[in-house]
Amino acid sequence: MDGQAGSGLLASGIMRVFVFLAVAALAQCRQLEIFFIDTEGGQATLIVSPSGQSLLIGAGWTDFSGRDADRIADAAKRAHVKKIDAVLITDHHRENEGGVPNLLERFTVGTFYDPGPSVETAHDHQRTYKAYEEAMAKQHREVVKPGDKIPIKGIEVTVVVAGGAHIADGGEPNPFCAGIEPRAGENAEEARSAGVVVEYGRFRFADLGDLTWNKELALLCPQNRIGRVDLYLASRHGGVTSKAIYGLAPRVVILDNGPRTGADPEAWKTLNASPRLDDLWQLHFALAGEKETNASDTLIANLDEHCAGVSLNVSAQENGSFTVFNPRNKFSKSYNAQ
């Protein structure tokens, strides 16, 4: 073999090694990112697919000088997101849709999804709903129903409940339904909440928005139509819930509560007792509860009522493993694939 041929083979070999390492590094970087943005008791959950496409669930409150839109923009910047491909408004309450006009001042949005027209007539409710409807006149908007897919490249997003209905097929018996009875007097708008399951390979995340007790039972009892999930965002910011959610067997529960909104002490006890649970994380220390009904300080993003609005961040791998990170104290905890 002459020197020129040998040099060519060496260069070819080096190139193959380089390509292999580059592909391995790219595979390592491919992950699903979820930012649970602090909107002081509303919802703004930014989901960024490995493809770079994004889904925002909720837009936080209106007013506060655009505070919540600014916090969404900060999370988007950290995720290198310049356009939001889809926004899901789970229900027409001001803590979820109020921030839409502020959001549209900062971002281009591909498509808005919601469960259909509001059913409430209270003045405060109508103020934010009217602003939302006016914004939608210039946006691409779709009404979702159970079984629909929200198209985000690289992940699967399935609507499991919306408009008072739930997916009807599949599931398995839920052994935790025994003795749970329906309750009277539920909020009509929250009962129509849209909720989704997000899947990236073996990793599964459920966000049921503001789903009420009775609608939660209908979805999970006697058949659990969702199956097991790794990560669960507690409904209604940690509002009253039943042991039916134990059928989901979440490994981690997150409460997107405010200091005075959500994280109901009884609900906290129910969620914290979930049989497969490793940890419960919170956006805020809940003033309604004592130390006994709050997570340890390490797992809370904001300890003081007047705070900087720190988020909780999750990165998930295709094999089902994931990590939760608290930027306030730089603490992170990883959960192995199961």
Per-residue pLDDT of 35-90, as tens digits, reads 999 999 999 999 999 999 999 999 999 888 899 999 999 999 999 999 999 999 99
Residues 8 and 141 in one domain: no
Residues 20 and 89 in one domain: no
Residues 17 and 145 in one domain: no
Residues 211 and 66 in one domain: yes
- pLDDT score of 327 more than 70: yes
What is the pLDDT, as a whole number, of residue 123?
81
- The number of folded domains in the chain is 2
Residues 214 and 235 in one domain: yes
Residues 43 and 23 in one domain: no
What is the pLDDT, as a whole number, of residue 179?
96
Which range, of 20-24, 91-95, 127-131, 163-167, averages the lowest pLDDT?
Answer: 20-24
Q: Give the percent of the chain with pLDDT over 90.
A: 84
Q: Which of 267, 171, 266 is nearest to 221 (CA)?
A: 171
- pLDDT score of 11 more than 80: no
Confidence category of residue 8, pLDDT binned at 50, 70, 90: low
Rounded mean pLDDT, 4-33: 54
Rounded mean pLDDT, 86-108: 96
CB atoms within 10 A of CB 289: 20
Residues 154 and 218 in one domain: yes
In the chain, at which residue ranges do the beta strands (DSSP E only) sit? 32-36, 45-48, 54-57, 84-88, 109-114, 141-143, 156-162, 165-166, 172-173, 195-200, 203-207, 223-224, 231-233, 252-255, 279-284, 300-302, 312-316, 322-326, 331-335
Q: What is the mean pLDDT of the chain?
A: 92
pLDDT per residue as tens digits for the range 226-239: 999 999 999 999 99
- pLDDT score of 12 more than 70: no
What is the pLDDT, as a whole number, of residue 121?
82
What is the pLDDT, as a whole number, of residue 4?
59
Instruction: State which residues form the domain around 18.
Output: 1-28
| Cα 307 from Cα 185, distance rounded (Å) | 34
* CATH number of the CATH domain containing 38: 3.60.15.10
- pLDDT score of 118 more than 60: yes
Residues 101 and 178 in one domain: yes
Residues 189 and 310 in one domain: yes
Residues 172 and 219 in one domain: yes
- pLDDT score of 254 more than 60: yes
In sequence order, the 6+-apart residues with CB closer than 8 A to the CB of 33 are 47, 48, 79, 313, 314, 315, 316
pLDDT per residue as tens digits for the range 165-191: 999 987 899 999 999 999 999 999 999
Residue owning tokens 């965002």: 233
Q: Give the percent of the chain with pLDDT over 70.
A: 91
pLDDT per residue as tens digits for the range 300-324: 999 999 899 999 999 999 999 999 9
Residues 103 and 15 in one domain: no
Half-sphere exposure of 120 (CA within 13 A, CB side): 21
Residues 5 and 122 in one domain: no
